[in-house]
Amino acid sequence: MEHGISRIGVVGGGLMGSGIAALAVYRGIAVTVREETPELADRAYHAIEKVFGDLLQKGKIDNLTYLQCMGLLEVTTDMRDLRGANLAVEAVSERLDIKEKIFAELDALLAPNAIIASNTSSLPIAQLAAATARPDRVLGMHFFNPPIRMDLVELVRGAETSKITMSIAEAFCREQLQRQTIRVTDRPGFIVNRLLIPYFNEAALAIELYDVDPHQIDAEAKAYGWPMGPFELLDFVGIDTTLWIAEFLNESCANRFFVPPLYRLLAEQGRMGARKTGTGFYTYPSRDSQHLEALLAKRYPHRNERMDAKHVFDRMMCALYVQAIEALEEEAASAADIELGAKNGIAFPGIGPLHAIDAMGHGKLLWMLRDMERTYGPRFAPPELLKRHSACEAPFFSE
């Protein structure tokens, strides 16, 4: 693979699979997307076509580029069409058994030196690698929605992933896909979802428990500098995806994570988010919250206590800060990679959460967390690292 990766296979053409395929063909790489049924293959093809159609309409690409991109794309229902790929990226739904089966199939099909990656947002890479006879050539490549816009890939090193595999994947993402990368350990939620999900959870819990307008919470987040409010972003990511990751994190560490029942309630009603079903927390395209309000009034009739949207937003940010500090404490990634992950993966405003904590003062965060721990429970317990830094007034970054 001296001259880079010439053809990739993408297994699964849903929201993320089609997005990854669009990014790859945009960068001149031939892509074969494999879907289960002709209907799903058709849907994947049209989703990718829409990405380039939108870019064309906005004047960001010309007709020739449109044709070149679409010309590099092949969509199939036959796994054997992936045979010539140097790299396969699996992007199917987050079920370990389904993914393991696909990994075994790819392992039997691809050349011995080909790399197999998973776009899983949380599942252990080591377990997927164990389904193959090439665990050294398996890693996590976690993209962000929408891949064509979000400048980040989390590279997850499983217990047996080789250094050379990490280097090839890094070079592919940086040089060919032109994406920033961070290296993260194989821990639940890696870095970015570990920060994002607790932030989402506080927002969802607040509207279940209190009389507070979701639009106001979104407005607080946007006033702080986030490009989308939490409910807009939840609808963008998808409720089913968020529910799954929240459940997985909760199983891994119930003291810090929980699953707001509202995710399940929305999912059961088929409200999977803006792009998946046109409804989620809000109803699109008007982005109104009438249905949500009616649902909340019916299911949670006792939410009379008013809650200030600014305080909800502080809770969301504190939940994210706790995870940023604990990730650093556990060496889940370097401090610089935690910052880059937050900034480029979820458009965290400013440099990153650890810089934000340095700027607000460790003592102030410690005080806020102690107060929230007393009021809302142990998920806000201050991490030991914060206590140590606060005691000696040492910032995370000293430049």
Catalytic residues: 121, 142, 154, 193
Considering only 156, 237, 312, 386, the residue that binds ligand 3HC (CB under 6 A) is 237
Question: What whole-number distance in Å separates Cα of residue 56 and Cα of residue 259?
Answer: 40
Interface segment toward ligand 3HC; rule CB under 6 A; list 68-76, 139-147, 205-213, 367-375: 139-147
Interface segment toward ligand 3HC; rule CB under 6 A; list 26-34, 70-78, 236-244, 327-335: 236-244
Q: Counting contacts by CB under 6 A, is residue 232 touching ligand 3HC?
A: yes
Considering only 66, 236, 300, 376, the residue that binds ligand 3HC (CB under 6 A) is 236
Query: What track of x and - describes contact with ligand 3HC for positions 294 through 313 (by CB under 6 A)?
Result: --------------------
Considering only 145, 165, 279, 344, the residue that binds ligand 3HC (CB under 6 A) is 145
| Shortest distance, position 373 Cβ to ligand 3HC, whole Å | 27
Query: Counting beta carbons within 10 angstroms of the beta carbon of residue 167, is it exposed (0 to 12), middle (13 to 18) or buried (19 or more)?
Result: exposed
Between CA 321 and CA 332, with CA 326 as vertex, the angle to 5 degrees is 115
| Shortest distance, position 47 Cβ to ligand 3HC, whole Å | 10
Which residues from 192-211 bind ligand 3HC, rule CB under 6 A?
193, 196
Query: Counting beta carbons within 10 angstroms of the beta carbon of residue 130, is it exposed (0 to 12), middle (13 to 18) or buried (19 or more)?
Result: middle
The residue to which tokens 């776009």 are assigned: 119
| Shortest distance, position 100 Cβ to ligand 3HC, whole Å | 19
Q: How big is the site for ligand 3HC, counted in residues (CB under 6 A)?
A: 18
The residue to which tokens 């064509």 are assigned: 148
Q: Counting contacts by CB under 6 A, is residue 150 touching ligand 3HC?
A: yes
Query: What track of x and - describes contact with ligand 3HC for positions 273 through 292 (by CB under 6 A)?
Result: --x-----------------
For strands 87-90 and 153-157, give the pairing.
unpaired
Interface segment toward ligand 3HC; rule CB under 6 A; list 234-242, 255-263, 288-296, 314-322: 234-242
| Shortest distance, position 146 Cβ to ligand 3HC, whole Å | 6
| Shortest distance, position 231 Cβ to ligand 3HC, whole Å | 9
Taking Cα atoms as reference points, which of 176, 377, 241 lies closest to residue 233? 241
Cα distances (angstroms) measured from residue 81 to each of 11, 30, 238: 11, 12, 30
Q: Counting contacts by CB under 6 A, is residue 191 touching ligand 3HC?
A: no
| Shortest distance, position 94 Cβ to ligand 3HC, whole Å | 9
The string over 296-330, giving b where at least 16 C-beta atoms fall within 10 Å of a residue's C-beta and e elsewhere, is: beeebeebeeebebeebbebbbbbbbbbbbbbbee
Closer residue to ligand 3HC in complex, CB, 250/390: 250
Question: What whole-number distance in Å separates Cα of residue 153 and Cα of residue 119?
Answer: 9
- The amino acid that residue 373 corresponds to is E
Closer residue to ligand 3HC in complex, CB, 34/343: 343
Contacts of 272 (CB under 8 A, 6+ apart): 238, 239, 240, 266, 279, 280
Considering only 130, 228, 253, 295, the residue that binds ligand 3HC (CB under 6 A) is 228
The residue to which tokens 């001149």 are assigned: 28
Interface segment toward ligand 3HC; rule CB under 6 A; list 105-113, 145-153, 265-273, 300-308: 145-153
Q: Counting contacts by CB under 6 A, is residue 244 touching ligand 3HC?
A: no
Question: What whole-number distance in Å separates Cα of residue 199 and Cα of residue 349?
Answer: 14
| Shortest distance, position 147 Cβ to ligand 3HC, whole Å | 8
Contacts of 138 (CB under 8 A, 6+ apart): 103, 115, 116, 117, 118, 125, 128, 129, 132, 158, 160, 161, 165
Q: Tokens in use for 264?
A: 């399940």
Considering only 241, 279, 289, 323, the residue that binds ligand 3HC (CB under 6 A) is 241
Considering only 86, 121, 201, 279, the residue that binds ligand 3HC (CB under 6 A) is 121
Taking Cα atoms as reference points, which of 231, 158, 227, 150 lies closest to residue 192? 150
Closer residue to ligand 3HC in complex, CB, 209/347: 347
Q: Which residues pair with 34 in a beta bridge?
A: 11, 76
Residues in the chain: 399
Q: Counting contacts by CB under 6 A, is residue 347 touching ligand 3HC?
A: yes
Residues forming contacts to ligand 3HC in the complex (CB under 6 A) are 121, 144-146, 149-150, 193, 196, 227-228, 232-233, 236-237, 241, 275, 346-347
